[in-house]
Structure 1
Amino acid sequence: MTSSLLSLITQIDHNFLDRNGKALPAPTDVSARAQWLHEEAPYSILAHGTGADPHFIYANQFALSCFKYGIEELLQLPSRLSAAPQDRSERERLLQDVTLHGIAYHYTGPRIDKHGNTFTIYDGVVWRLSHPDGSPFGQAALFWSNELERPAWYTGVK
């Protein structure tokens, strides 16, 4: 794992803690937390940058498997393309809510993979990302690919 990737997932985790009061879900005995979040988390973690049409800046391995993209492909993708055209207005409303309130919980909705196949994301949380000086650098999301199945160590996020 590169140092820039390690730094980014650590920032995403710290921002989640700041907004939620808990760090991203993980077993208590994980020693290399950032590496575990990137490689082994049983849920997706994604982030996009700022701008008029933000591109993805991060995806963990689970997210890549859901969307069926390689990392290089996904990082070139505008994040709006993760939803089908008919679902983009609902996605945009969610992102505007996060801009206003800093975090949004319990989102469930359709997404599309690289091949145009639809899948559902469950129990999503989306939060605002900011640098230590408070300046924004994007938004991040976590979601589950199964409606009900969670690991025994999972205690929820709020």
Structure 2
Amino acid sequence: MTQLALVQLMLDSYRRLVGRELLPADWPLEQAAHWLQFEAPFCVLAHEASSDPRFIFANTTAQRCFEYSAAELIGLPSRLSAEAPNRQERQQLLDTVSRQGYATGYRGLRIAKSGRRFWIENVTVWNLIDDTGVCHGQAATYEKWQDA
């Protein structure tokens, strides 16, 4: 899947499942993709739909938050974004999203590459579902995080 197709899937799925726009609907796709990747002041991450999903998207803000470069974060198993004791809570969230399509208001403890622990707050997670109903993974966005 191309980067533009992935951004379109994230935007369309968010609109369909959450019921509002992630970005202004009148932006051309290329503008939306560039802004979301490089300029958005909030974090956006996505992972694919395998049994041990790996990140397929992480905008610049998320890369800074987790202290990884794009090359390091893309392909990393998303479970490694949480410490082992917190992975069950994270998995319960993802299971809820799988059943309901999305979840909002989540707060969870995460770990950066350096080992720094931080809270992500008011997180929205949604399924990446295409027009034919196929789920390609899940995405998450949040604006607030703070060191633990």
TM-score by length of 2: 0.90
* One-letter amino acid matched to 1:134: G
For structure 2, the 5+ residue unaligned runs are: none
In terms of fraction of residues, the more strand-rich structure is 2
CA deviation vs aligned residue, 1:123-157 (integer Å, no higher than 9, x gap)? 1000011122111110000012347xxxxxxxxxx
Q: Which moved more, 1:32-41 or 1:119-128?
A: 32-41
For the 8 Å contact 1:98–1:127, the answer to whether it is kept is yes
Name 1:55's counterpart in structure 2.
Answer: 54
Residue of structure 2 equivalent to 1:76: 75
Q: Is the 8 A contact 1:122 1:144 kept in 2?
A: yes
Deviations 1:99-141 (A, max 9, x none): 0000000011110011111011111000011122111110000
| Letter paired with 2:52 | D
Per the alignment, residue 96 of structure 1 pairs with 95
Unaligned ranges ≥5, structure 1: 148-158
Name the % identity.
40
Q: For 2:12, which of 5, 14, 25 is the aligned residue? A: 14
TM-score between the two structures when normalised by the length of structure 1: 0.84
CA distance in 2, matches of 1:21, 1:14: 10
Question: Contact conserved, 1:9 with 1:38, CA < 8 A, in 2?
Answer: no
